[in-house]
Structure 1
Amino acid sequence: MKFNKIVLVLCFAGILLSCKSYLDSTKSTTLLDITAETDEDKFVNLKNYSNDFIYDMKYATADNFLKEKVYPCDECFLRVKTVKSLLAANKNFIEKGFKIKLYDCYRPRAIQRKMWKIVPDANYVANPRRGSIHNKGGAVDITLIDSLGIELDMGTKFDFFGEEASHNYLNLNDTIIQNRKFLKEIMLQNNFSSFDSEWWHYNLNGSKADKVENLKWKCN
């Protein structure tokens, strides 16, 4: 008990940097109100603020282009400001009969390094020395599902690295083009910007200026 008290004092004093190295993945027993969060840059677990998202966190499985599991579990941490905009976007989709399905959220720099070690190619993985918006808690990889839980046809799978995944690629049928346009329009209306070569990737506006983080989470 005495040791724990000493550690707690040191944490508050900022002496033990490791005290801040982990995000709390404990689930709240009731949904929390994101508007009550005053620190816009704080990292929070999206699952504590809404039950209206579908999760398919690809890097918590081997079902990804790396062919390897690199996340310890399927948590979705983001900065408060990102969550606020994402909740607003999902509300708009729900009003139209759809929901956001998430593939990826915040990614610690240590995992970025691990991904780079597996695929050291900037065409597929951001160099960890510079980092990505995912490392800043301002990026999400998403798609949409309908009221039956069926994914909308976006023309390619998530993390398909070919020209067909680009917003600018128009050699697609009308349904696919309209689905991508629908996703993009709502996200842009809610303070996100798109990434030209990946129809699934959206960055919170202004998040590029945020700090690359290496906050990890422990799985419960």
Structure 2
Amino acid sequence: MLLNISFKVVSLLGVCALSNVAIANEPHNPLSSVDQYDRSEFVDVATLIPTALFDIRYFSGQNFVGEPITGYQAAKCLLHKTAAEGLAKAHTQAQKAGYNFKIYDCYRPQRAVDHFVRWVNDEADTKTKAAYYPNLGKDQLLGGYIAAKSGHSRGSTIDLTLTDAKGEELHMGSLFDMFDPLSNTDDPRITEEQKANRYKLKNIMIAAGFSPYSMEWWHFTYKPQAYPNTYFDFVVQ
């Protein structure tokens, strides 16, 4: 999607622990280390792969926070053009194998990550515990699952799964965004069918230039990242 409104990005350079404290306590992070980039480098993935299924969870309340997330003003998947082109190649291979993509999240504004951090620090809010983190306390979610900075904010990371030709999700052994070792790609408790399905997705994505994340079977990052040291904060619209 071509957008002609200027936006802010936050560089890793000069960001320190005090900045992370500010992120945790404010709805929008007003860091002073800001540069200007061309938003036309980001594209709406639906324009490249219109036959994919889009279930952008953070635009809705169907997510681990239990409400729409700050920074999502549309149910769109935005990616840097290099990652989007790689995803289009992966989608072609998935279709050749008889599958389709269902996409949950793509570019994620820094303000959305700030929303996650506020949620994880609110110990009284546990309404989604049974579905998304049944075996962990919120204090165990920081770090491996939720952090003050997300690779999604760089524009080259995507969360997705595979569906069959009818649009039914393949059995993967855990929900998207389930914070539990069960979501680790090689967790020994999943069935052989579930492991095979995870590896179908993993192998398709790796062949197209994406790197997996062992703790989350749905999470892949295109390499090399266009902006490996930058966290963008423009809204999804």
Does the alignment reach a TM-score above 0.5?
Answer: yes
Give the residue type in structure 2 aligned to 1:138.
Answer: S
> Which protein is bigger by CA-based radius of gyration?
1
In structure 2, what is the Cα distance between the partners aligned to 1:50 and 1:63? 24
Give the residue type in structure 1 aligned to 2:55.
Answer: D
Which residue does the alignment assign to 2:88?
87
Which residue does the alignment assign to 1:21?
7
CA contact (8 A) 2:49 2:91 kept: no
Which residue does the alignment assign to 2:43?
44
Q: CA deviation at 1:179?
A: 0.3
Structure 2 unaligned segments of length 5 or more: list them: 9-37, 122-141
When normalised by structure 1's length, the TM-score is 0.77
**1:168 corresponds to which of 186, 189, 201:** 186
Which residue does the alignment assign to 2:143?
122
Which residue does the alignment assign to 1:54?
53
Which residue does the alignment assign to 1:216?
235
Matches within 5 A, 1:62-141: 62-70=61-69, 71-120=72-121, 121-127=142-148, 131-141=149-159
Give the residue type in structure 1 aligned to 2:7.
Answer: S
Give the residue type in structure 2 aligned to 1:122.
Answer: G
CA contact (8 A) 2:73 2:235 kept: no
Q: Report the aligned-residue RMSD.
A: 2.1
Q: Secondary structure at the match of 2:176?
A: coil
In structure 1, what is the Cα distance between the partners aligned to 2:212 and 2:236? 27
Q: Secondary structure at the match of 2:64?
A: coil
Q: CA deviation at 1:132?
A: 1.5
Aligned residue pairs, count: 182
In structure 1, what is the Cα distance between the partners aligned to 2:198 and 2:42? 29
| Residue 146 of structure 1 pairs with residue 164 of structure 2 | yes
- Residues 74 and 86 of structure 1: is their aligned pair in 2 closer, same or farther, counting only changes over 3 Å? same
Q: Which stretch shows the higher mean deviation, 159-168 or 76-85?
A: 159-168
Give the residue type in structure 1 aligned to 2:214.
Answer: D
Give the residue type in structure 2 aligned to 1:132.
Answer: S
Question: Quick one: percent identity of the two aligned structures?
Answer: 28
Q: Secondary structure at the match of 1:118?
A: helix
CA contact (8 A) 2:186 2:195 kept: no
Give the residue type in structure 2 aligned to 1:199.
Answer: W
Matches within 5 A, 1:193-208: 193-207=211-225
When normalised by structure 2's length, the TM-score is 0.72
Runs (4+) of structure 1 moved beyond 6 Å?
Answer: none
Q: Which stretch shows the higher mean deviation, 41-50 or 184-193?
A: 41-50
In structure 2, what is the Cα distance between the partners aligned to 1:72 and 1:116? 19
In structure 1, what is the Cα distance between the partners aligned to 2:93 and 2:87? 10
- The structure whose RCO (Cα within 8 Å, separation 6+) is larger is 2
Q: CA deviation at 1:20?
A: 0.5
